[in-house]
Amino acid sequence: MKTIKIGKRLVGEGQPCFIIAEAGINHNGQLKLAKELVDVAVIARADAVKFQKRNVKRILTGEGLCKPYLGYNSFGPTYGEHKRALELSKSDYRALKEYCDERDIIFLTSAWDEESVDFLEELNVPAHKIASADLTNLPLLEHVANKGKPIILSTGMSNMGEIEEAVNMIKKYNDELILLQCTSTYPSEIRDINLRVMKTLRDRFNVPGGYSNHVSGIAILVASVALGAAVVETHFTIDRTMKGPDHAASLEPYGLTKMIRDIRDFEKALGSDKKRLLDVEIPIREKLAKSLVSKVNIKKGTVITKDMLTTKGPGTGLAPKYYYKIVGKKAARDIKEDTLIKKEDIRAVK
């Protein structure tokens, strides 16, 4: 399967999972808070931190912009005003990209329209993320694919036919594609996650697969890596009680740190597929394993019989497997009762 390079990281089979800390719009339109989110992602040791970029007027009709949007998480009386309040300025994004470079973390942003894609190109992002909402937006996919950068595409709210159309469009111009299984509900119910779809997408389209998370907690994310996710992303925030549409379904700093720690621990635990006695196990084996032990005093030259032997610890003597080989052999020297039997105690034992 193809390995894709994003920044300094290789992504794909045989590589550590590429972990994206999804800040999204949890900056609440404030550059200071956005930088604090970058700091959290760095401390948690995420590979990348991801935001979202929109031209609000470009992605909504006049009717959509004017639609009333009221409630605790609203930042304006209409949906348009709400979305504008959660947008950072272009100068903010430039500052944020520079800050990520300084903190040595990959800066990613989901682009929701062509103008935003072009702006992100000015920032020299190493890859483009396309949200599930735009999987069927073939003109946008064509525009992004022509940039020649790796594309991470979420597949929520779509069926296999639509995914195939999206993949075919992208691969006309660009074969550096990663598909993420995603369920676009906030938060998602565990029964709706369908992690096995990751394998379906990998096998069907021969691309690295992964998982975009909207489930509370971290267990499903770790499970996705166990099932082969090359990429995972999940929302995070400074405080889940903050005002805003995505905070409640996000991980707080400790949760993000623990999730990444657990994924990395799992990857270490996978280790080798070769079963062997580890050097670190040898002292424990010698302490806990059994050896052949004499039940009675055995004189030199005596033929060993079954009733002369038993097994006891420690495991530094002749292993119990030799029980069947030494019965019928002669003692090479005197062996005291309740003594570990060594190879040199028995004639012709190899």
- Which pLDDT value is given to residue 187? 86
Using one digit for the tens of pLDDT, what is the confidence trace for 286-311? 999 999 999 999 999 999 999 999 99
The single residue listed with the structure tokens 């994924």 is 263
Concatenating the DSSP letter of every residue in 202-219 gives: HHHH-S-EEEEE-SSSSH
For 170-208, strand residue ranges (E) read 177-182
Cα 198 from Cα 209, distance rounded (Å): 6
Cα 140 from Cα 102, distance rounded (Å): 31
Cα 153 from Cα 133, distance rounded (Å): 10
Look at residue 348 and tell me whether its pLDDT is greater than 80. no
Using one digit for the tens of pLDDT, what is the confidence trace for 27-39? 999 999 999 999 9
pTM surpassing 0.85? yes
**Second CATH level (architecture) for the domain 279-345:** Alpha-Beta Complex (3.90)
- Polymer length of the chain: 350
HSE (side-chain half, CA atoms, 13 Å) at 122: 12
Confidence band for 24, pLDDT divided at 50, 70 and 90: very high
- Which pLDDT value is given to residue 1? 66
Look at residue 102 and tell me whether its pLDDT is greater than 80. yes
Cα 124 from Cα 9, distance rounded (Å): 16
Greater confidence, 350 or 155?
A: 155
Using one digit for the tens of pLDDT, what is the confidence trace for 240-258? 999 999 998 899 999 999 9
| Ramachandran class of 181: left when φ > 0, alpha when ψ lies in -120 to 50, beta otherwise | beta
Look at residue 110 and tell me whether its pLDDT is greater than 80. yes
Percent of the chain with pLDDT over 90: 93
Concatenating the DSSP letter of every residue in 74-111 gives: -SSSBHHHHHHHTPPPHHHHHHHHHHHHHHT-EEEEEE
Percent of the chain with pLDDT over 70: 99
Domain ranges of the chain: 4-270, 279-345
Cα 231 from Cα 150, distance rounded (Å): 13
Using one digit for the tens of pLDDT, what is the confidence trace for 51-87? 999 999 999 999 999 999 988 899 999 999 999 999 9
Cα 20 from Cα 37, distance rounded (Å): 12
Look at residue 283 and tell me whether its pLDDT is greater than 80. yes
The single residue listed with the structure tokens 């060993």 is 304
Confidence band for 349, pLDDT divided at 50, 70 and 90: low
4-270, superfamily in CATH? Aldolase class I (3.20.20.70)
What value does the CA radius of gyration of the chain take, rounded to a whole number of Å? 30
Confidence band for 186, pLDDT divided at 50, 70 and 90: confident
